[in-house]
């Protein structure tokens, strides 16, 4: 069995933004993504009046990448989601020890 060294990129963005982020990830080499919906809490409440402008509905994107793809895909996600701007969302990376069902080309 081939050793893939998979990683998991998780990105949380405002509702309606995920398609653009996934498209950028695929162009950067990702082979697919899983999307689901969530509701954020915490930041809105701490910001008081300004927090009213942050939607609680979120889209969560999970992307499994091979080790050699990870940096390019992560950078594409950050750029497409505009994560360098406050309030746009966030992304993080997990190194996976084992995974099964991850199809490689």
> What does 5-65 look like in DSSP terms, one character per residue?
-EEEEEEEEETT-HHHHHHHHHHTT----EEEEEE--SHHHHTGGGGGGS-SEEEEEEEEE
What is the predicted pLDDT for the residue at 49?
A: 57
Task: Count how many domains the chain has.
Answer: 1
What is the predicted pLDDT for the residue at 73?
A: 98
Which domain CATH number covers 85? 3.30.70.120
103 within domain boundaries? no
What is the predicted pLDDT for the residue at 45?
A: 57
Range of the domain at 84: 6-95
What is the predicted pLDDT for the residue at 53?
A: 57
| Regions of the chain where pLDDT drops below 50 | none
């Amino acid at each position: 069995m081939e050793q893939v060294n998979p990683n998991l990129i998780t990105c949380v963005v405002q509702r309606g933004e995920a398609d653009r982020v996934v498209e950028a990830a695929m162009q950067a080499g990702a082979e697919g993504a899983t999307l689901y919906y969530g509701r954020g809490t915490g930041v809105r409440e701490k910001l008081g009046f300004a927090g009213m402008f942050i939607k609680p509905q979120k889209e969560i994107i999970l992307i499994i990448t091979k080790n050699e793809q990870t940096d390019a895909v992560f950078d594409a996600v950050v750029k497409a989601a505009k994560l360098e701007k406050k309030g746009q969302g966030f992304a993080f990376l997990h190194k996976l020890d084992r995974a099964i069902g991850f199809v490689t080309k």
